Every structure is written in C-alpha cells, then in structure tokens.
A and B are shown apart, each in its own frame.
Chain A
Amino acid sequence: MLMKYLFAKNEEIPAGSATIFFGFSSIFWFVVGTGLGSFNAAKLAFPDWVTGTELFAFGHMRQVHVLAVILGWISMAFGMTMMYMTPALGNTKLWSEKLGLWTVFMWNVGLSLGLTLLWMGITSGREYSDLIWPIDLVVIFGVLLPLGINVWMTISHRKTQGIYITNWFFGACIFMLMIVFFVGNSPELFNLTGLTEAYLTFWFAHNVLGLWITPVAAAIAYYTIPKLTGNPLYSHRIGHLHFWSIIAFYSTPASHHLMSAPLPEWLKSFASVEGVLILIPAVAFVANILLTMKGKWSLFVENIETKFSITGVLLAIPLNMQGGFQQTRAINWYVHGTGWIVAHAHLALLGMSSFLEAAAVYFGLQQMLRRKLYSLTLANLHYWFFIIGFCTYWISMTIAGLMQGAGKIYEVPYIDVVVAEHPYMIARWAGGTMVFTGNVIWLYNMWMTAREGTIVPSGRYAHELAYER
C-alpha cells in the first residue's frame, strides 16, 4: 500500500496516511529494539548462552539495539506525531502527504541498511554516531530534510494567528538535529582526529539527547495532555521559558560526558554549570503539565493515553534531578562509566521519552485510523509490563552502578565487582524482557485496532467513545 501511494498524486492520498505508516513503523522498531536489548542483557547475565557465532556476539548487537531504539522507535514516533500534530495545531492539512510517505520509506530503508551494516561490523567506531558516513548523509538529506520541509511548510501555511509551543519545538528541533548530525559526524566526513574526534563524538551524543529526544518528547506532552483532558495549557509563557532555556542552555554541556579526558578545564567547568541549568526547562515543563491536569486527575487512572503521558512526565522529575547533578565534578567522579549511567540513559529514553511517545502514538493512530482502540485490557497489560519492566531495569542497574562506583573508588579488584553485579544483571534481563513482551502485545493491539476497532464518527475523538471490549 505504501508503494502505491508513493507514486500517487498528493491529492489522492488520504489524509493521515503518513501518520499511520510512521506509527506502525515506530512500533515495529520498538519491538525490534527492545528484543535486541533483552537478548543483549541475557548475554551479560549468561555469557555462555549462544556463543561461537560472530553475528550473535554482544559487540555486534549492542549498538544495533541503541540505534534501533533511538533512530527507529523514538525518532519515528516523533515523525509520526509531527505528521498529525503540526497540521492539527495550525488548523490546516499536512503540507505534503506524499513527501511524508517518502520520508517514512527512506527512513525505513536507510535505517535497515545502516543497522544491517552495523551488525556486520561495518562501523565508524564512534559511539552513537556508529553509522558510516554515507548512511549519515542519507539521514540528513533523505530523512531529516524532507521531514523538516514538511513541518516548516505546514507551520507557515497555518490558519491560526500564533504558533503553539509544540510547533516551536518541532520546527526548531529538526533544524538543530540536522546541524548536530552534520557537525557531529564531521570527523568521519573530513577525517578530523584525536581529541577533536573524541569531543565531537560526545558533542553529538549529548546534543541528540538534549536537543532532540527530550525536548520533542516534552513538546508532544504539550499537545496530548490538553487534548486528552480538555483543559487549556496552564501557561504558554512557562512553555516558552522551557523552549528558550533549552535552546540557550542545553545546547552547551556536551563535554560533561568526558570529565576524565584531557579536555580544557574551562570547558568542563562551563559544561558542568550549564548542565545544572537543565533544571530550569525541566521544572517549567513538569510544573506546566501537572498544573494543566488540575481537576482531571481521575483521567490518570481511567484514560490509557493520559496514564502513559503522565507517567512519562513524572519520570522526568528523577531524570532531570539525576541528570542535572550527576554531571558535576562532585558526583561524576563516583558514577562515571558505571551502570548508574546506563540506568539514567534508560530513564531518559525508555522511561520519560518512550512513555510520552507511546501516549502520542496510541492517540494519533486511533485518530488517523478513525478507529477506537481494539482492547483496553491489552493496553493496560502493555502499560504494566512496560512500567514494571522498566522499574526493574532502572532500579537494578542503579544499584549495580553504585556498587561499581564503590568498587572503583575503594580499589576492589574488578572481577569481584563482576561477581557482585551478577544478580542485578539477571534482574536487568528480566526487566528488559518484560518491556519487550509488552511491546509485542502493543503491536498486536494496534494491528487489531486497524482491522477491527470500532469506527470513530467524524467530529468525535476516539477517547470520547466507550470501549466495547
């Protein structure tokens, strides 16, 4: 069906097609990414499980897990939300449905190719920017540029007076991500070496997180929560404080990832201070959303999309409290490079961000398919598998990380740390497997929604209808 629409006239493509293809692609990549994560975790707990084959070695799959989740699940879910939120907030249609479909197509092809090569070991050897530079160029010019053009044109063709905060984030973050991808991969493109390469690797890693994954996830909540509760956003002005403080502060602390490297000390101190300032946008965001919930807190229990969304917002509190302070020298020396950081990274991506996106994908797919969710029971199962699995992972890795930090500081022989961590590695694997199971349920639920969900009458929202199952 995607193939048919790729060469159809723009007017003949039904509105919402791009959203639907983006949505299902993102859930598919979520299943793939968490499945790989679960498999990798099993290898850390039981190293003699599946050995002797190069392709199933931990070192060949770890980066595929990371990028499948970041560029497949999270970024495609962002693409999906941009396809339906941007026009909805401008009271207009998507600028080009056809361009949107081409973006999904290029994205899936490019990512499959890149991850296959990565799996085979064809890599640039740079963390988070592991994809080889030809694939980086596909990402910049084949994916981000068309996505950006679609969003920017839709915003400029809006029929509303102002631009809502969500669209400010969407428009700016795509632009910044393109710059980040280009500059961050310049060591490969122009053969920059040494400390410049090391610094730019983590400059990229930080900015992908700080200027793309967390702000766009927050932008999504600015849409979903007012929409689901029917309350207007508590304050646009606080929303703009969030937006402008992200642009000003959070584009700078990249070097706090390399506190032990011989980088200039002024840069580390500067990054550390700017890193603490993440608390300004974080408090603005969390307060704004939670105050928007005023009088509608029953929906946190009753409405599945709100449940996902608010869980994500609540997880932003520990996320930013950890993130703001763990990068200062006083704390970083203890936790750097330990499982604590792994736990924190999963809190950002699997916790805060993924819950917000899951809510938006649930909401947007029902809206664009014009179908009510197939089963509330399955959705609730997904939620509980997700949150219990995530918490198991997060808590076990935090404990393991603190033990590792203690081992590092008190000069415990490394092998003793490995032995002590073993139970937590098993817990990590169990938690990851629960998340994976939940996502398989989700994919089934969404597939059945497309086929058998109750049809939503025009002019109504899916969440206004009662469940039939």
Chain B
Amino acid sequence: MAFQRYKFGAAGIGLMFGFSMSITLFGPANDFRSGVSTWVGLDKQLSLGRVIGFSYEDPLVIGDGKPIVVILDKDPKTGAAIDPPQRAYVYSAGIKFSPGVNHPELLGPGVRDLSEGKGQIAQANMATGAVFTIGKDEFNGEELDYIVNATAVSGWTPAEVLSAAGDENMRYVGKGKTIYITEGCWWCHTLLPEQTQDWQFFGAPPFLGDMNGEMPTAFGSDRKAPDLLHVASRNSSREWMTMHFFNPRLVQPNSIMPRFDYLWGKKDASGNTIDFKKWRADYTAYVNGKTIYPPEVPEPARTAEVRALIDWVLTSLR
C-alpha cells in the first residue's frame, strides 16, 4: 500500500478531542448549575467550611480553620427556648466561609435569592466572624431552605453562641470529615447508596442539591464495608462508635476494619496517659479466653481526633 499523507492529522485530533471535551464538560455543567440546594446540602457546606483536605488554611490536613457546629436549645441573645434544638454554624473571626456564602450562585436559583435577601449573607464579614443558621421560607410558591446570617439578622456573635452552648453542644464536624479523608475511611466505606436494593438497608441515594458547595465529596468507589451516608440513622450510639473505633472487633468480632486507637492521642478524658501496651495485652488475654470481659475503652479527651470523627458521623451522616 502506497504511503498516504493525512490531510488533517493534528487538527483532526484537536477537533475530535475538543468535541468530546465539550460534550462531557460543558453539557453537564449546565445541568449542575440548575441544582437547587437542599437542607442537607446547606447543612453540609456550612458545617464543613470552605474546603476539606489540603488548603491554605489547613496545609497539614489536621482540621485547622474549620467552623464549629453548635446545637442550640435556647437563643443566646434573649434566652428564649428553641424547640426542637437548632443547628448554628459558628465561624469565629478569620475562619473562611463556605463556598455558598462567597459565591451564592452555587446555592441554586431560589435559595440564592432567599439567602441574599432575607438571609443577608452578603453582610457576613470574615474579619469579625459570623454565625449562620438554616431558615425555611416560600419562594415562588415553593418551600426552600436557605442560609441565614444570624449575626446580621439576630445579632448573634460567634463568641456568644459558643459560650451559650458549652462544649457538650459543640460538634467538630469539619475536623471530623478531615480525619475521614486523611485516615482513608473512604477507601472501604462509600457515601453513595446505589439506585438498587441498597435503599432497603443503606437508605436513599443523595439528591441533586445535596452536594452543592461540598469539597471533596469523597463518594468512594470500592465498597469493602457498609455505606455510611445514613449510618447515624441506623446507629446513633456514641458509646458504640467509641468502642468500634478503638477496636472494631470489640463490637463486631468478624470485622476487618483497622483499629483507630491512635486517634485517641496520648491522654484520655481525665488527663491520664493511655497505656496502649497494657490494653493490648489485656485484650489478647480476653481474645484467648483468659478473662471474661475485654478491657475498658478509654474515654476520649475533649480535643482527641476521634471525638471530632464521631461528631461528624453522628451529626452529618443522618
């Protein structure tokens, strides 16, 4: 066969590749833009902050620069009871806001209008900090959830809300998800129930507006363990979670999950040094049938990483 010179060559590659890129990138981008944030989506982005993983505010990926979720049962300003208790998302001075606050177009039509209008999110100022809540209102005949800048609307300051709530009502959700990412929980657990019989056990798959402003989504692709998207609805026991993270085989003898005892740090809740070596020896004795009960799992300290991880699981994965 005689040699034939291509008439198009590199231009052909450019044309074909450009065509497929525009179908796979510009096409879906239009659909994504119309996604209207749900309550889940707003809750996620407000409790996780700007970004999880490597970033300017958290270069070592240890959960720095994240907001704190507070469960409020009374108004920090007036003292009036709030029933049922409401979530407030506290951004102390200098903490970067979640993407939807700075770029309201991410919230989707309707939610954006409510958040900018009634929610007054444009007045939120990073230098002084802000407290956000989620409101509900009607927009063009449709009930929508939207972001409320409680600092502007109700005059709540971050310091007031934190002191009114106290540590037992604080949830370190952003730090918790950071640990979920760095410890690689998502290599085995997914956050994406499938459109199959998964519904029966793991609950409904996420909706279009459930992810607006979340980064990274960390769906996971390789399921070696149960889906976690709604795990706290199935099991909301903090005690169970604590035992399970310390050594999963304490509560599920056949589990292949790694032990996460190193997330306890050096000291327990009462400030005593945790003797891991003795714990392991006692546990081995228990496994071998030498003792009847396993050793007690140490109570995690207030600042322990595992506390934040459990906070995230119990608060966000419902």
B216–A201 touching, CB < 8 Å: yes
Is A18 located at the chain interface by the 8 A CB criterion? no
Where chain B touches its partner, the secondary structure class is loop
Q: When chains A and B are docked, how far (Å) is the Cα of A175 from the Cα of B258? A: 41
Query: When A162-B5, A418-B256 are in contact, do A252 and B218 touch as well, CB less than 8 Å?
Result: no
A248–B28 touching, CB < 8 Å: no
Query: When A51-B258, A251-B21 are in contact, do A195 and B194 touch as well, CB less than 8 Å?
Result: no
A341–B35 touching, CB < 8 Å: no
How close is A343's CB to chain B, nearest CB, in angstroms?
A: 11
Determine the residue in chain B with the shortest Cβ distance to A413. B201
Q: When chains A and B are docked, how far (Å) is the Cα of A261 from the Cα of B217? A: 11
- Which residues of the other chain, B, contact A43 by a CB distance below 8 angstroms? 258
B258–A58 touching, CB < 8 Å: yes
Q: When chains A and B are docked, how far (Å) is the Cα of A161 from the Cα of B205? A: 56
How close is A180's CB to chain B, nearest CB, in angstroms?
A: 9
Is A132 located at the chain interface by the 8 A CB criterion? yes
Query: When A162-B5, A257-B221, A408-B196 are in contact, do A191 and B183 touch as well, CB less than 8 Å?
Result: no
B223–A193 touching, CB < 8 Å: no
Q: Which of B24-65 contact A (CB under 8 A)?
A: 24-25, 27-29, 31-32, 35, 41, 45, 50-54, 59-61
Q: Which of B66-74, B206-214, B235-243 lies on the face that meets chain A?
A: B206-214
Where chain A touches its partner, the secondary structure class is helix
Is A28 located at the chain interface by the 8 A CB criterion? no
Q: When chains A and B are docked, how far (Å) is the Cα of A444 from the Cα of B196? A: 49
Interface residues on B, range: 35 or more
Specify which of B24, B188, B200 is in contact with A254 (CB 8 Å cutoff).
B24
- Which residues of the other chain, B, contact A176 by a CB distance below 8 angstroms? 17
- Which residues of the other chain, B, contact A188 by a CB distance below 8 angstroms? 53-54
Is B222 located at the chain interface by the 8 A CB criterion? yes
A418–B258 touching, CB < 8 Å: no
Is B80 located at the chain interface by the 8 A CB criterion? no
- Which residues of the other chain, B, contact A255 by a CB distance below 8 angstroms? 24, 28
Is A140 located at the chain interface by the 8 A CB criterion? no
B215–A187 touching, CB < 8 Å: yes
- Which residues of the other chain, A, contact B252 by a CB distance below 8 angstroms? 415
A196–B221 touching, CB < 8 Å: no
- Which residues of the other chain, B, contact A425 by a CB distance below 8 angstroms? 256
Is A122 located at the chain interface by the 8 A CB criterion? yes
Q: When chains A and B are docked, how far (Å) is the Cα of A139 from the Cα of B35? A: 33
Q: When chains A and B are docked, how far (Å) is the Cα of A402 from the Cα of B187? A: 19
Specify which of A201, A257, A336 is in contact with B194 (CB 8 Å cutoff).
A336
A133–B54 touching, CB < 8 Å: yes
A124–B216 touching, CB < 8 Å: yes
Query: When A63-B184, A123-B54 are in contact, do A236 and B222 touch as well, CB less than 8 Å?
Result: no
Is B143 located at the chain interface by the 8 A CB criterion? no
Q: Which of A262-270, A301-309, A370-378 lies on the face that meets chain B?
A: A262-270
Q: Which of A57-90 contact B (CB under 8 A)?
A: 57-60, 62-63
- Which residues of the other chain, A, contact B259 by a CB distance below 8 angstroms? 47-48, 51-52
Q: Which of A149-191 contact B (CB under 8 A)?
A: 161-162, 172, 175-176, 179, 183, 187-188, 191
How close is A244's CB to chain B, nearest CB, in angstroms?
A: 7
Query: When A162-B5, A194-B32 are in contact, do A57 and B258 touch as well, CB less than 8 Å?
Result: yes
Query: When A121-B182, A197-B216 are in contact, do A267 and B28 touch as well, CB less than 8 Å?
Result: yes
Q: Which of A126, A201, A337 has the most CB of B within 10 A?
A: A337
B212–A193 touching, CB < 8 Å: yes
A418–B254 touching, CB < 8 Å: yes
- Which residues of the other chain, A, contact B223 by a CB distance below 8 angstroms? 337-338, 404
B21–A59 touching, CB < 8 Å: no
- Which residues of the other chain, B, contact A267 by a CB distance below 8 angstroms? 24, 27-28, 31
B23–A262 touching, CB < 8 Å: no
A333–B196 touching, CB < 8 Å: yes
- Which residues of the other chain, B, contact A175 by a CB distance below 8 angstroms? 13
How close is B182's CB to chain A, nearest CB, in angstroms?
A: 3
Determine the residue in chain B with the shortest Cβ distance to A419. B254
Q: When chains A and B are docked, how far (Å) is the Cα of A45 from the Cα of B254? A: 11
B200–A125 touching, CB < 8 Å: no
Is B225 located at the chain interface by the 8 A CB criterion? yes
B261–A62 touching, CB < 8 Å: no
How close is B155's CB to chain A, nearest CB, in angstroms?
A: 30
Is B181 located at the chain interface by the 8 A CB criterion? yes
B20–A418 touching, CB < 8 Å: no
Query: When A125-B181, A258-B219, A418-B254 are in contact, do A411 and B51 touch as well, CB less than 8 Å?
Result: no
Q: Which of A211-264 contact B (CB under 8 A)?
A: 236-237, 244, 247-248, 251-252, 254-255, 257-264
A52–B276 touching, CB < 8 Å: yes
- Which residues of the other chain, B, contact A244 by a CB distance below 8 angstroms? 12, 16
**Can you offer 8 A-B residue contacts whose CB atoms are under 8 A?**
A48-B249, A121-B61, A127-B220, A197-B211, A251-B20, A260-B192, A261-B219, A333-B195
Interface residues of B (CB under 8 A from A): 1, 3, 5, 12-13, 16-17, 20-21, 23-25, 27-29, 31-32, 35, 41, 45, 50-54, 59-61, 99, 106, 181-188, 190, 192-198, 200-201, 205-208, 210-226, 248-249, 252, 254-262, 276, 280
Q: Other CB < 8 Å A-B pairs besides A247-B20, A259-B194, 8 of them? A: A63-B187, A162-B5, A183-B21, A192-B215, A195-B211, A196-B29, A267-B28, A409-B196
